[in-house]
Amino acid sequence: MRLSRAFAVVTGGSDGIGYAIAQAFAREGADLCLVARNADRLADAAARLARSGIQVTTVAADLGHPVGLERVAAEIAGLGRAVDVLVNNAGTATFVPYLEADRAQYDHSIALNVTAPFFLTQALVPLMPAARGSVINISSYFSGKMLPGRPSSLYSLTKGALNSLTKAMAYELAPRGIRVNAIAPGTVDTDLRRRTIAAMPEDAQRAMEELVKRLYPLGRIGQASDLGGIAVFLASSEAAWTTGAIFAIDGGLTIT
């Protein structure tokens, strides 16, 4: 097992991409701390993951608020374990036309997609073992690619910032032996995506589905499980010389 005896923190770990990454880590022997807002979903996810024989702890908190960030950092520190891996996956996706975006939407997007990974990583770095810590940020293809009919100014802004933060953190934390990388998925079939699509007018939904099918060279959107392998690689010693990289896991969407 590539992550045997490792301890990994996964934010947004109760469902979707975060849960799929947690599953992949569990299969490789890592103990887990899942962070998310909904305590019931966390408990359910933890129970399922624990069946593989690993230890799973949970922290229910909203990382979009300073109090939530501080509590998560304090509870993880209180566990008394070295943090080998941190996956900054929790986030929000707000798609509104640039000219209609308001300050509340802006502040919420920045708080959860940029501020949370910035300060949670900062708080947990002292708990990371020298020459073994790995930070994995979950970005998006929207950091550099726009789609017709999909106004993404807010989301693209935050994921572009996260990519830049990934590279800067990788540079600054390298003397500690801590590696920082990002995964930039294409469209992934998650509950969040389904809710976002469901909120669109029916004609826009049909147009979006047809566009997605045409855009992907591999002929399909992703499943959350498609991201588990790259996450395990980045968390493991196999990626010991890999830092500051942004990995496009997107079915070929960003080839051109």
Predicted confidence pLDDT, tens digits, the chain (256 residues): 899 999 999 999 999 999 999 999 999 999 999 999 999 999 999 999 999 999 999 999 999 999 999 999 999 999 999 999 999 999 999 999 999 999 999 999 999 999 999 999 999 999 999 889 999 999 999 999 998 878 999 999 999 999 999 999 999 999 999 999 999 999 999 887 788 788 889 998 888 788 877 899 998 899 999 999 999 999 999 999 999 999 999 999 999 7
Contact criterion met (CB below 8 Å) for 155 and 97: no
Positive/negative CA dihedral, 16, 17, 22, 23: positive
For position 249, what pLDDT does the model report?
98
Q: Which of 19, 98, 106, 155 is catalytic?
A: 155
155 catalytically annotated = yes
**E-assigned strand segments in 44-133:** 56-60, 85-88
pLDDT of residue 256: 74
The CATH superfamily label for domain 7-247 reads NAD(P)-binding Rossmann-like Domain (3.40.50.720)
Q: How many helices (H) and strands (E) does the chain have?
A: 9, 7
pLDDT, position 195: 84
